[in-house]
Amino acid sequence: MTFYTYDYLKSSQSNWQYARVIALSVLAVIFILFLIHYLRNRLDIKYKDLSIIVATLLLLVLAVQYNDFSAIQSSSKQTGQITQTVRQVAKRLELPPEKVSVNSTTQNANLMVKAPNGFYRVDYNADGTAFVLEKVELDSSSRIKVEEAR
């Protein structure tokens, strides 16, 4: 079972989105440069072709970004919810949030918490607005792995 630390959850919220923004910016700059070069030298058709190719790639990346926009928003919201849950659990256990780990990056019905004093199951009420911590014992065959922020 893999557990994720509070720092890991906070750092993983938006790191990978920067790569997409950088790729989009680089493609836009390359497209503008090829387009300017083509407009200066209209007889050199290779820059027109390169501009069309880069523009097509740019549109493709924009389409993928737009398609993933709702998924990114949902993921970001869920990660924000789980970090809030970690803070609440840490407060109930009278620990700093950095000492608490959870077994999921999204809020779900089978959430387990690893704290220095043991393992807990988070049991939510019907509408998911409140929860109860229940101490559990894991059997010795359970493999525990903790993912920490790098």
pLDDT digits (tens, 9 = 90+) for 3-42: 888 888 777 655 566 777 788 888 888 888 888 888 888 7
Closest Cα to residue 15, out of 85, 95, 72, 53? Answer: 72
95 to 2, 55, 99, 100, 118: CA distances (angstroms): 21, 52, 7, 8, 12
Q: Which amino acid would we find at residue 112?
A: M
Domain-by-domain residue ranges, the chain? 2-147
Residues in the chain: 150
| Between residues 83 and 109, the one the model is more confident about | 83
pLDDT at residue number 35: 84
Predicted confidence band at 147 (pLDDT cuts at 50, 70, 90)?
low
